[in-house]
Chain A
């Protein structure tokens, strides 16, 4: 395995009576693409919330680029180079598409003109340049998914956490977004993605981590994991039942 960029050890989080994450360990290497999969309610989004600083873990440690980020607020985590997208997309609806992406870029480019230039380049890359002046609230689903990615990308991360950016897209849109994610990764950005679209997982991920009831039940190359009986059971239920 390559040197760990993100190193999560023994992470646990409980919400009242629900153990959302228990003793989760997870590593993402430099430039690696790792997929986090699992049935609905397995704790994937909670794991993202914990890693990105929106939630505070009950136990465990999160190391990013060799330093502890456990308990840091989200904006600090972002400033260190770890950006996330939201499963439920969160555009700034009344601001223009360019403004939306600028907000991400302003962290590294305090001058609004420089941030606008950087945001423009990201929009160009993701095929949203024609929509730059539109209010974000007017975009289609597919465009809003790409805007979500563009905002995160504008923060110039070294690790991107993508929460179901492919869901609800047509096959062609998915294919296009897979290509764009691959291009981002080719520039050296490591990616941790939550995804239900298995075609995207299979073609993108170098490693897959499977969660069920907040626990890691399997890990390995995509084809290994897909044939793992524990994984099949988690998704389809025990056939003996």
Chain B
């Protein structure tokens, strides 16, 4: 299993040498959504706290780095971490309200959606951060400004983000923290009875998850050169973030990555082909069909089944 992982990483490292720019772009998106899915996986998958507002952290992270760069000339390499930190603060606020007041299930979902929507509407109405039109970043190709002439650099950054987040999750999974999160997901009261400070661990999961997601916001902004409130804070992005880990296997190490390899190309290709025929939005139908299939036939996501098929054991 381990050498299989090493082999996969080597292949991914070598791929840009042989791939065309369109295939590279699709892989960048696979890695990026795999990264966001992995970050969500910590709180949504392992701890079982269903956040459907993770776009808020992407938005906060991206807008922070962009504003620091545009207004103060601070490099996005630093802005990225400032954005991550602010996203973590927002994550702590949402987590505190949700966990302190015992919001579970649908109520926690609503809380996270509400916060993301508040952020979206607020940013849309503040002209200092671009208002509804958003912000545009002029392309300079300066690496210090997180901009690269060679598109393959984005490929390696996105790959590094995904692998780093996966490394973080792999580390958490084996330690007490990860085991406690699984206990909280399975039965919170039982975990509490066994001495698990459920509030503290849910908060930690939320903070780590929102910090990582916030880092992703900088990549998103500086890869697309533009920030729109609807795109960066909207419910569609939140749904994109959670679909991949759910399809691939929430609460498993490789589920979000597997899910991204399944969904991202499907989304991009169907957008491309259906979009050309004037059938905009038909890619969402493809998503929907796949999602229904997974929920019906693989309710724990694709990864546990794939793993059982190859290894024959369960975690």
> Which A residues are within 8 Å of any B CB, using their own CB?
52, 54, 73-75, 78-79, 83-84, 86, 90-95, 99, 102-104, 106-107, 110-112, 115, 135, 151-152, 154-155
Contact A99 B179 (CB under 8 A): yes
**Contacting residues, chain A, for B191 (C-beta < 8 A):** 92, 103
Contact B179 A112 (CB under 8 A): yes
- C-alpha gap A239/B199 in the complex (Å): 51
CB distance from A32 to the nearest CB of B (A): 22
- C-alpha gap A52/B183 in the complex (Å): 19
**Contacting residues, chain B, for A92 (C-beta < 8 A):** 182-183, 186-187, 190-191
Contact B193 A95 (CB under 8 A): no
- C-alpha gap A111/B176 in the complex (Å): 7
Contact B195 A52 (CB under 8 A): no
**Contacting residues, chain B, for A74 (C-beta < 8 A):** 189, 192-193
CB contacts under 8 Å to A, within B215-233, are none
Task: Supply 18 A–B pairs (Cβ within 8 Å), ascending by A.
Answer: A54-B189, A54-B193, A75-B198, A78-B194, A78-B195, A86-B189, A90-B187, A90-B189, A91-B190, A92-B187, A102-B179, A103-B180, A103-B194, A106-B195, A106-B196, A111-B176, A152-B194, A155-B195
Closest partner residue, chain A, to B194 (CB atom): A104
Query: Cβ of B2 < 8 Å from any Cβ of A?
Result: no
Of the residues A78, A110, A135, contact of B193 by C-beta under 8 Å: A78
Most chain A CB neighbours (cut-off 10 Å) among B182, B190, B194: B194
The 3 closest A-B pairs by CB, nearest first: A107-B195, A92-B186, A90-B190
B-side interface residues, number (CB < 8 Å): 21
**Contacting residues, chain A, for B186 (C-beta < 8 A):** 92-95
Most chain B CB neighbours (cut-off 10 Å) among A90, A110, A115, A152: A90
Contact A86 B183 (CB under 8 A): no
CB distance from A80 to the nearest CB of B (A): 9
Closest partner residue, chain B, to A102 (CB atom): B179
**Contacting residues, chain A, for B182 (C-beta < 8 A):** 92, 95, 99
CB distance from B200 to the nearest CB of A (A): 9
Closest partner residue, chain A, to B197 (CB atom): A75
Query: Cβ of B72 < 8 Å from any Cβ of A?
Result: no
Contact B175 A151 (CB under 8 A): no
Most chain B CB neighbours (cut-off 10 Å) among A92, A102, A135, A152: A92
> Which B residues are within 8 Å of any A CB, using their own CB?
174-176, 179-180, 182-183, 186-187, 189-199, 314
CB distance from B116 to the nearest CB of A (A): 29
Query: With A92-B186, A112-B174 known to touch, is A106 a contact of B192 (CB < 8 Å)?
Result: no
Further contacts, 17 of them, CB under 8 A, given A75-B197, A151-B190: A74-B192, A75-B194, A75-B196, A75-B198, A78-B192, A83-B194, A90-B187, A90-B190, A92-B183, A103-B194, A106-B179, A106-B180, A107-B195, A110-B176, A111-B176, A115-B176, A155-B194
Contact B194 A112 (CB under 8 A): no
CB distance from B196 to the nearest CB of A (A): 6
Contact B193 A84 (CB under 8 A): yes
- C-alpha gap A91/B190 in the complex (Å): 8
Contact B180 A52 (CB under 8 A): no
Contact A52 B193 (CB under 8 A): yes
Contact A104 B195 (CB under 8 A): yes
CB distance from A171 to the nearest CB of B (A): 28
**Contacting residues, chain B, for A135 (C-beta < 8 A):** 314
CB distance from B187 to the nearest CB of A (A): 5
Closest partner residue, chain A, to B314 (CB atom): A135
Contact B196 A103 (CB under 8 A): yes
CB distance from A114 to the nearest CB of B (A): 10
- C-alpha gap A151/B192 in the complex (Å): 12
**Contacting residues, chain B, for A112 (C-beta < 8 A):** 174-176, 179
CB distance from B128 to the nearest CB of A (A): 43
Contact B194 A95 (CB under 8 A): no
CB distance from B289 to the nearest CB of A (A): 27
- C-alpha gap A79/B175 in the complex (Å): 19
- C-alpha gap A78/B189 in the complex (Å): 12
Closest partner residue, chain A, to B300 (CB atom): A94
- C-alpha gap A112/B177 in the complex (Å): 10
Closest partner residue, chain B, to A156 (CB atom): B195
Contact A103 B183 (CB under 8 A): yes
- C-alpha gap A115/B174 in the complex (Å): 12
- C-alpha gap A78/B199 in the complex (Å): 15
Closest partner residue, chain B, to A78 (CB atom): B195
**Contacting residues, chain A, for B189 (C-beta < 8 A):** 54, 74, 86, 90
**Contacting residues, chain B, for A93 (C-beta < 8 A):** 186-187
- C-alpha gap A110/B187 in the complex (Å): 20
Query: With A90-B187, A112-B174 known to touch, is A107 a contact of B192 (CB < 8 Å)?
Result: no
- C-alpha gap A83/B183 in the complex (Å): 17
**Contacting residues, chain A, for B197 (C-beta < 8 A):** 73, 75
**Contacting residues, chain A, for B194 (C-beta < 8 A):** 75, 78, 83, 103-104, 107, 151-152, 154-155
